[in-house]
Amino acid sequence: MLFFLLLSYLGSGASGRVTPITKSSFKRFIEKRPKNEIWFVMFHTDSNFQSQKLYPKFLNASVMAGGMFRFGVIDTKQQPLLTRQFKPKQRPSFIVFHQKGQTEYEGSGEPDDIIEFASQYLTDNTIEVDETWLKDLNSQNSKNLPRFDQKKNDQNIDDHHNSDDAKNYKKPMAILFTKKKNTPILWTGISHVFANKNVKIGVCRNESLFKYFDAQNVPQIVFINNTYNFKYTKKNHFANIERSLNKFLSKSLKVEKDEVPDVIMPSDDFASECIGRLKTCIIYSKQEEDPSYNEMFRVYKTMQFKWFKGTKGIPFDFIKENEIWVYNPKIDGFLKIDHVTLMGPILQKVYDSDVEWTRKFDLLNQNREL
């Protein structure tokens, strides 16, 4: 009965997994499990009404967990040796195997309750994002340094690099931006699973820092390395996030194609076409027509830049009217061109990756011209 119940449930398209545990597989899956792996095991009896009632909920909990925990089931009739070894007090019984040993679960058996109980054995390895992360972010792609209260910030950075967290410096980052006081179980689970991998898992509640990471729609998850600032936009499900972050770290994450229209677009489209995308963007914040700018577009459009003109909807306050700027969304970097007649040689250098970009947070804090 248990086998057919499991088979029918998995056949329905559920993404969870409950592993049948035998005496031999118990040693392989649980006794020799990785140190940070948590198993939630159900002792199930086919002839027991309560077992039959709670088993679908147990399966559903495995779907909701999405791989954050491992779920196993022991058939008490088929596995009498395991049953005698653990001497379950009732049918069904549940035991959680974790880093510190094992604990019996005596809750309601509801999926939410199961996950909440298991989550207490997760190790929260998240790091609170502060101004020192801007130095780390900046060092990924630019020589320019952030300027807040520079003396204070330099001291914070020195303390950071001299601390136990210094080994995290320049690692790829995965950051949850949230306004909630408590870290969600899902993100704690991500920090638990990725504890020994080359990434630091951050949580940012400081709203004054959101803009430096382009975190616009909170809650938001952003992956950052020395090439990309990637916004995670899929469903907030543990398995999806874990899979995407693993691909990001292995540089196998497929980034959506970024088509380049064969026209000069209005400035209103700049935010949606450029922020978080791939292609370099050029914007001329001028309302009137300019034949010289149109000619530059005609000559250099084969370089696959995105071109914009206008004064409405520009998302950056430091771009003033009648200015020309080049934006590199991969590193959130900017370059100002002083006059339309100077665009040619500069665009060639941009195309050849032979320019130094100024990061957005420098411009926001200094509000200076290049």
Q: Would the pTM of this model clear 0.95, i.e. be above it?
A: no
Residue 151: C-alpha distances to residues 133, 157, 318 (Å):
16, 10, 24
* Confidence class for position 256, pLDDT limits 50, 70, 90: low
Residue 97 forms part of a structural domain: yes
Q: Are residues 130 and 203 in the same domain?
A: yes
Q: Are residues 113 and 129 in the same domain?
A: no
Residue 289 identity: E
How confident is the model over 10-20, as a mean pLDDT?
Answer: 57
Q: Are residues 131 and 208 in the same domain?
A: yes
Q: Are residues 129 and 227 in the same domain?
A: yes
Contacts of 187 (CB under 8 A, 6+ apart): 126, 176, 201, 203
Which tens digits make up the pLDDT trace of 315-362?
Answer: 888 999 999 999 998 888 899 999 999 999 999 999 888 889 988 877
Split into its structural domains, the chain has a count of: 3
Per DSSP bridges, beta strands 220-224 and 200-204 are: unpaired
Residue that wins the pLDDT comparison between 185 and 230: 185
Q: Are residues 270 and 360 in the same domain?
A: yes
Polymer length of the chain: 370
How confident is the model over 272-276, as a mean pLDDT?
Answer: 85
Which tens digits make up the pLDDT trace of 30-80?
Answer: 999 998 999 999 999 888 899 999 999 999 999 999 999 999 999 999 999
- What pLDDT is recorded for position 176? 96
Residue 166 forms part of a structural domain: no
- What pLDDT is recorded for position 273? 87
Residue 159 forms part of a structural domain: no
The rounded distance, in Å, linking the Cα atoms of 84 and 91 is: 13
- CATH (domain of 308): 3.40.30.10
Q: Are residues 271 and 247 in the same domain?
A: no
- Percent of the chain exceeding pLDDT 90 equals 55
Q: Are residues 182 and 206 in the same domain?
A: yes
| Helices of type H across the chain | 2-10, 23-26, 49-65, 80-86, 111-119, 132-141, 150-161, 185-193, 238-249, 270-274, 291-300, 343-351, 360-366
Q: Are residues 73 and 128 in the same domain?
A: no
Domain that holds residue 271: 265-367
Q: Are residues 131 and 203 in the same domain?
A: yes
Has residue 279 got a pLDDT over 80? yes
Residue 363 forms part of a structural domain: yes
Q: Are residues 127 and 249 in the same domain?
A: yes
Q: Are residues 46 and 93 in the same domain?
A: yes
